[in-house]
Structure 1
Amino acid sequence: MSAPSTVLVTGGAGFIGSHTCVELLDHGYELIVVDDYSNSSPQVFARVERIAGRFVGAVYELDIRDQQALSAVFDRHTVDAVIHFAALKSVSGSTRMPVEYYDTNVGGTTALLRTMHEHGVHRLVFSSSCSVYGEAGPGPLDESTPARPTSPYAASKWACEQLLADVCRWRPEYTVQCLRYFNPVGAHPSGLLGEDPRGTPENLMPYLAQVAVGRRERLHVYGGDYPTPDGTAIRDFIHVMDTVEAHRIALDHLADAPGMHVYNLGLGHGRSVLDVVAAFSRTCGSDIPYELAPRRPGDVAELVADASAVARAWGWRPIRDLDDMCRDAWRFQQLNPHGYAGSPRRPRAMER
């Protein structure tokens, strides 16, 4: 079985999805992208094409729960494999909207799998999350750590993993690479692509960047009483460029063996929220103002990856550190103080 050449990317306009599009174009893949732009912008594709020097290809605005619209995409194109990012992703948001999170994340995955099966597509890279581990305690967590989801978001990701495991168990033609990643941050080193969430950022790094550039007054640090050295939560941050490289390599390994394969992606050591605040302050050259706030529902004290399994299986390790993450995120924010607002859909020099 050969490695796939035409890849459907769901959620391809989002933070990780857009960087993945660049990575795949840089390595010769043909792309089909679907996204509903609920937390992204179609303007991102002009930047993807500018970086890669190639057209993205076919882009469709649709909700993957709309199986009729999704099936029409598969009817128009020959798809070799799918990378599935499309999902709602806020831990705290999921505690306010649990039904919507299950509907989008589990319902979207179910609709995607039905459509793939109807069109004879059986190879998938699934974007999962370290949040499935929940309150697993301190220290690096490997893939055998029992899942203990503490939020509807985490539980929806775990439900998707169980669904995919059952599909692989009962339909042996399927191969799924399931990547549980730990807090991807940073931006493309060009400064053209980065994290540009709609509304108030739910994640630490884009919030820090918006404070540093003057869009927000101060950072709210949720929880200063965790059982950690400085009282703030500890996470394993990984550069988005390392994350998307792993997704591209996962496509190559879909040809290895059928079944469900689960891997953590992380650096293997944690940084507290205040560690990241200090690092970003050094990068931007001024102290980031912050204030402590109560813990958010669904958050846990520590999540750190044991990523040795993927290193053994693929010979792959992340190579970028926290300073790289802060530098690239800050470059993107400086060059794009208001995000993607006002960007053209495609760069003028590359219009068809």
Structure 2
Amino acid sequence: MNKILVTGGCGYIGVHTIVDLVQNGYEVISVDNNSRSNIAILEGAEKIVGKKIKNYVVDLCNLKDTEMVFEENKDITGIIHFAAYKAVGESVEKPLMYYENNIGSLVNILKCAEKYAISNFVFSSSCTVYGNPDAIPVTEETPQKPAESPYGATKQMGEVIVCDAVKSNTIQAILLRYFNPVGSHPSTLIGEIPLGRPANLVPAITQTAIGKLPTMHVWGNDYDTRDGSCLRDYIHVCDIAHAHTLALNLLFGKQNKVNPEIFNLGTGDGFTVLEVIHAFEKTSGVKLNYTVGPRRGGDVVAIYANNNKAKTELNWQPKYSLDQMMDSAWKWELALQKA
């Protein structure tokens, strides 16, 4: 059984990926300093998979503490690196904090991969690496424009760092560029738990609908899209999680054609912010209280994925519709209220 280290394993995508990995025969340990996550979410994951999940509370920006995890687990055979700050707006306000955390942690985890001869590495990247593309949908070969936010810049830099690192050692890597993860596990035992006011659209919708927030804001209605609001590719978190398992399968099977391999993870459809709001209202039966305000710094106008490569080479197929995504997000919010 291959042992996989998942960094940021208490985070939203990390914990769903842990569940998918265990259900597909992998052994998993997590590293998460819980600065942006709640370790209690692992209890939900443990209920789903029926076993304990070990988490090391370690700051990956501290190389000595990070190496301690590898010293205690010399049988690690693969790494999935999620751990990063991810709020676009916050990154505009605090760029140095984002560069320090997101780049420093990646460099340290790659140093450990090299030192402990761990050759299978999956990097959590993002569609933000494309900036404001000239044409959509974007393919993996779409030229990258300047990042619209420091967060996006850290993902661009992260990809460059991984690409350079694999040239000088035996690491085989896959970069997964995912679009906008939403929804929750169908069990409602795990889901997204934003700290403070949500920076992402769907938890802002559900928290407003349930009354945690008095109202939510739509950032801009004068973009060149169908209704003036930003257009994105929303993908269910369980679909994204399974792609990480498939990526590891590809690496362990030595079936990657190049190093690193790059895959877009999106549904291939774009929806505007207002369309997502209306989909939520339809599936939940709740009328949302929202206001439309000025544009927010760092936001890309419109982007969605061409996912043909992931479908053909990863054998990956997104399963959830937008309505199903909204329904699962709402059920998770209701479950949180009962907890």
Asked if these proteins are the same fold (TM beyond 0.5), I'd say yes
| Alignment partners' CA distance in 2, 1:90 and 1:51 | 28
Match status 1:252 vs 2:263: no
Among 49, 61, 67, the residue aligned to 2:57: 61
Counterpart mapping for 1:314-325 below 5 A: 314-325=314-325
Contact 2:4–2:79 under 8 Å retained in 1: yes
Partner of 2:280: 280
Residue 163 of structure 1 corresponds to which residue in structure 2?
Answer: 161
**Partner of 2:247: helix, strand, or coil?**
helix
Q: How large is the RMSD of aligned CA atoms in angstroms?
A: 1.2
What stretches of structure 1 move > 6 A for 4+ residues in a row? none
C-alpha displacement at 1:229, in angstroms?
Answer: 1.2
Number of the residue aligned with 1:347: none
**How much has 1:118 moved relative to structure 2?**
1.0
Please state how far the C-alpha of 1:319 moved relative to its aligned partner. 1.3
Q: 1:223-259: per-residue Cα shift (whole Å, max 9, x none)? A: 1110111000000000001000001110101132462
* Counterpart code for 2:332: F
In structure 2, the partner of 1:154 is 152
Is residue 2:303 matched to residue 1:303?
Answer: yes
What is the CA–CA distance in structure 1 between the aligned matches of 2:286 and 2:220, rounded to whole Å? 23
Corresponding residue for 1:191?
188
How far 1:170 moved relative to its partner?
2.8
Separation in 1, partners of 2:176, 2:317: 14
How far apart, in 1, do the equivalents of 2:248 and 2:23 lie? Answer: 14
Supply the distance in 2 between the matched residues of 1:205 and 1:102 (Cα, whole angstroms): 26
1:330 paired to 2:327: no
Q: Tell me the CA shift for residue 169 of structure 1.
A: 2.2
Paired residue secondary structure (1:92): helix
Aligned equivalent of 1:39: 36
Helix, strand or coil at the partner of 1:337 = helix
The C-alpha deviation readout for 1:187-234, integer Å capped at 9, x for no partner, is 001111111110000000001010111111111001111011100000
Q: What is the TM-score when the length of structure 2 is the normalising length? A: 0.96
Which consecutive residues of structure 1, in runs of 5 or more, have no partner in the other structure? Answer: 344-352
Query: Which amino acid in structure 2 is aligned with residue 15 of structure 1?
Result: Y
Give yes or no for contact 2:181–2:235 (8 Å, CA) kept in 1.
Answer: yes
Matched, 1:133 2:103: no
Per the alignment, in what secondary structure is the counterpart of residue 260 of structure 2?
strand
- The reply on whether 1:74 has 2:47 as its aligned counterpart is no
Supply the distance in 2 between the matched residues of 1:49 and 1:220 (Cα, whole angstroms).
35
Deviations 1:271-319 (A, max 9, x none): 0000000011112212111101111111011010011111121222211
Which secondary structure does the structure 1 equivalent of 2:174 belong to?
strand
More off after superposition, 306-315 vs 127-136:
306-315
Rounded Cα–Cα distance in structure 2 between residues aligned with 1:146 and 1:89: 22
CA distance in 2, matches of 1:8, 1:296: 36
Q: Is structure 2 residue 312 aligned with structure 1 residue 312?
A: yes
Inter-partner Cα distance in structure 2 for 1:203 and 1:233: 13
Q: Report the residue type matching 1:156 in the other structure.
A: T
Q: One-letter code of the match for 2:150? A: P
Q: What stretches of structure 2 of length at least 5 have no aligned partner?
A: none
Provide the secondary structure at the position in 1 that maps to 2:6: strand
Structure 1 residue 45, shift from structure 2 partner: 1.0
Q: CA deviation at 1:69?
A: 0.8
User: Following TM superposition, by how much is the alpha carbon of 1:91 offset from its aligned partner in structure 2, in angstroms?
Assistant: 1.0
Correspondence for 1:271 = 271
User: Does the residue aligned with 2:142 lie in a helix, a strand or coil?
Assistant: coil
The residue correspondences of 1:3-152 to structure 2 (distance < 5 A) are 5-56=2-53, 58-77=54-73, 78-148=75-145, 149-152=147-150
Q: Is the 8 A contact 1:185 1:329 kept in 2?
A: yes
Name the residue aligned to 1:214: 211
Q: How far apart are 1:122 and its partner, in Å?
A: 2.0
SS of 1:304's equivalent?
coil
CA contact (8 A) 2:234 2:267 kept: yes
1:232 aligns with 2:229: yes
Shift of the alpha carbon at 1:138?
4.5
**Conserved 8 A contact 1:13-1:41:** yes
Q: In percent, how many aligned pairs have the same letter?
A: 39
SS at the partner of 2:337? coil
C-alpha distance in 1, partners of 2:56/2:62? 12
Question: In the aligned structure 2, how far is the partner of 1:96 from the partner of 1:224?
Answer: 23
Aligned 8 A contact 1:232 1:273 in 2: yes
The answer to whether the 8 Å contact 1:177/1:261 transfers is: yes
